[in-house]
Structure 1
Amino acid sequence: MKYIISVLLLIVSQMTNAASAFNIKPSAELVTPILPGLKIPDATLLTKVGVKTQLSQLLKNKPTVLVVYRGGWCPFCSRQLMGLQQLAPQLQQLGLQVLAVSPEQPQELQKNTENTLYQLLSDSDLSFSQNLGLAFYLDDKTAQIYRNKLGVNFVDFDGQEKVALPVPAVFLVDTQAMVHFQYTNPNYKVRLSNDVLLSAAKQMMQDLK
């Protein structure tokens, strides 16, 4: 009986992580993220407690630092989020809010208890990352290593189960959802520095006056 329950839980877990593929590139180097001057597409995201929320409504509140990251299981993402926590008071003083989106399920976002200054959101079906042009398939070797990590999405592609993730990215967006600054790097180990982000944020707020 315990074996049957374990198998059922595994199946449910995989179904929960299943994502539909409509814009997933073969590699991180081939992603085509939204550029400055274009608008961030609306998305239905989930809060940490699983409540659906429209991104467009959040963006209307105030100019936004929109961060897309791989998941709390990624040490480089965790380091980036810690940096955001330190920078958030200065960004808020400038008049910006910070939203951080990952493919992780809401219950995984709840494990990030250190974040108190910005909002974590779940793109658990990877649709937002695909609309942003950030989603890509992991190569088979890397996928084999990652496939047991929570928050990593499994995609049914031509009858085969593949693993997909977003390339980490940072967007500076105004209240009309227009992108003023964008940073992406196929090398997930290289992230935007706080100094550059703060400088870009100051420039955007100056331009919006």
Structure 2
Amino acid sequence: MSVKQASAEYKATVQEKLGEKFNIIAGDMENVRASGAIDGALMNGQSAPDFTLPDAFGKQVSLKALLAKGPVVISFYRGEWCPFCNLELRGLQEALPNIEALGATLIAISPEKPDHGIVATEKSKLTFPVLSDFGNAVARQFGIVFQVGNELQAFSKNVFKNDIALRNGEDSYELPVPATYVIDTAGVICFTHVDVDYMIGRAEPDEVVAALASLK
């Protein structure tokens, strides 16, 4: 089953469970889309900013060092609390042998503190680095940061018992729009997938593999 199919099925379950309250989530996505928050997102042909971030276990991971070995796939995700992000991460894990066979490295980035990166790694049995981007510093350089609306903040805390300020270690209530990038060894972006619809607007791992194959 594709990531989008699995995500669509889970979305239907959430929608049925929440009923009219689902409109709070859907409305916030539309507000982000209308705000133009990601109009400046980096796209194909642009250079990716260099960065160094800690992984879940404290090791510093540098984009420049990774690119010295081959292309890099970056998956920006909202947090291990997001079931749709977990579906995507698991899909990428399944595709990892094909990604590595093409000489590429896969990394995932979220604004969560490293201990939540450990949870994400263990929960989805991930064997690629999960990096912690405090304050969305790197995501901001990629132009994909938005702020969660006040209504959804309250809904998330009261209904889902999820306070992203505690998880992220700062109270901006900002998140990255889920985004997938493939960066070639020259540091140039050659595949971009950025979509405000964090439920079903995800890149398929097969698309990522195809983008890497086209570099050969």
Structure 1: runs of 5+ lacking an equivalent:
1-25, 156-161
Aligned length: 174
Identity over aligned pairs, percent:
28
Matched, 1:187 2:197: yes
Distance in 2 (CA, whole Å) between partners of 1:154 and 1:145 is 19
**Matched residue, 1:5:** none
Matched, 1:123 2:139: no
> Which secondary structure state, in structure 2, belongs to the residue aligned with residue 82 of structure 1?
helix
CA contact (8 A) 1:100 1:121 kept: yes
CA distance 1:116–1:79, change in 2 (3 Å): closer
Computed over aligned residues only, the root mean square deviation of the Cα atoms, in angstroms, reads 1.9
CA contact (8 A) 1:48 1:110 kept: yes
**Matched residue, 1:137:** 147
2:32 to 27, 30, 51: 27
Matched, 1:50 2:58: yes
Q: CA-to-partner distance for each residue in 1:89-117, whole Å, 9 max, x for gaps?
A: 01111111101111111111111214343
CA distance 1:145–1:57, change in 2 (3 Å): farther
Structure 2: runs of 5+ lacking an equivalent:
1-30, 158-162
**TM-score, length of structure 2 as denominator length:** 0.74
Distance in 1 (CA, whole Å) between partners of 2:168 and 2:33 is 15
> Which secondary structure state, in structure 1, belongs to the residue aligned with residue 154 of structure 2?
helix
Matched ranges for 1:142-181 at <5 A = 142-146=152-156, 148-149=163-164, 151-152=167-168, 154-155=170-171, 162-181=172-191
**Matched residue, 2:15:** none
Distance in 1 (CA, whole Å) between partners of 2:52 and 2:178 is 19
Structure showing the higher helix proportion among its residues: 2
The structure 1 segments of at least 4 consecutive aligned residues displaced by more than 6 Å after TM superposition are none
Q: Which moved more, 1:124-133 or 1:193-202?
A: 193-202
Structure showing the higher strand proportion among its residues: 1
CA contact (8 A) 1:146 1:152 kept: no
